[in-house]
Structure 1
Amino acid sequence: MKSKTLFFLFGTILLLTGCVYGQCINGPCALEHSRIVADIKPNGAHWVKEGATSKSRMSDSWACGAAATVPGANGPIFSDEKINRERKNFDKNDYGPRDRLFDQWGACMKSKGYTYIEQCDSRCMYP
């Protein structure tokens, strides 16, 4: 009986220690997580161009081959049909076609005067 009590006590201490170090769901760590998630911008927002608006970037993204949806403009996301058309005999999954489509999309965006910035700043427009 004493070993069960010690086990329970030890387990409780471990759980509480986890909360102290930010592992709990509804504690300060949850607030920090919310802030971090709020700061994440979709890939499309990292593509900036002098004088561009979020609407013009969306139109350019669609013109460069992204799916004609809001997530597609901010992703880019490609339709299953487009991925299947890009598929080669040696592709074992969707990664190859998606990578090729993404490279084509990026080249197109660059040809339209956009630059990719790694760390979003005030130039990133989202939504």
Structure 2
Amino acid sequence: MPIEILTPPNPPPPLAPYSAGTKAGGFIYVSGTLAIGPNGETMHVGDAAAQTRYVLEAIKAVIEAGGGTMKHVVMNQIFLKDLADYAAMNAVYKEYFPENPPARYCIQTPLVRPDFLVELATTAYVGP
């Protein structure tokens, strides 16, 4: 099965050795995505809603690079630095998945920088 590396336009510099996304067997796998700006800076420090929107837009770009749309998302893994940001994250999340939302889970965990509040990893199915 061939594997295609997916790189959206103007990606931020990676924080570790990984690809933004991969496509294999009709699935698109998007790496854990954080609010990282074009120069490696943290975007929207202190604002979980704005970070969520930034992250979902970055995920959308990777999925589109693989020929999909957000309607193809089948699973999201959500990581929050603080569960106090759960409502803010959900308000934005619902805008991207207003009907028939994908499966997901959400956990509280430390993230790789203290100013990151939200991280999402996504799986989409675009077919064979």
| TM-score of the superposed pair, with normalisation by structure 1 | 0.31
Larger helix fraction of residues: 1
Larger strand fraction of residues: 2
| TM-score of the superposed pair, with normalisation by structure 2 | 0.31
